[in-house]
Structure 1
């Protein structure tokens, strides 16, 4: 799965939790989940759980703490997917 496909899946996952639709429609790798999309911290946990389910991966607490924006999330998801391919 390439970066573009992961971003598209990520958009589907975060959409129900987004409070700032303008930021969502202009989503980039630099988009911050809390500051830009205004996803609250409780919902951010839901986003992580949804990511784990969608991509069939397990994200530990240290990785979860990094996943505050699209780029960091992409990095973690890509790493986990590559580990699964081994």
Structure 2
């Protein structure tokens, strides 16, 4: 799945150390399009219930935020079919 990502330049170390690292992050401003591509790629069907659609969408957003955090920490994870699955009550909110 092609996802819109933003390159973020991170400066690490003390001021005298010139360490620069590029990190690819999901663009949360493009979350609607990312979710549509995600749904299409994994052949997921939208629920007819508006509440259910909203819950899955916000869980997907939370997954993107978690993945951006993990990418920042150096872990490179990919979106999978479970990115919008709510496993615990209120799992879609912080």
Instruction: Answer whether TM exceeds 0.5 for this pair.
Output: no
TM-score normalized by the length of structure 1: 0.44
Higher RCO structure (Cα 8 Å, ≥6 apart): 1
TM-score normalized by the length of structure 2: 0.41
Larger radius of gyration: 2
Q: Which has the higher strand share?
A: 2
Q: Which has the higher helix share?
A: 1
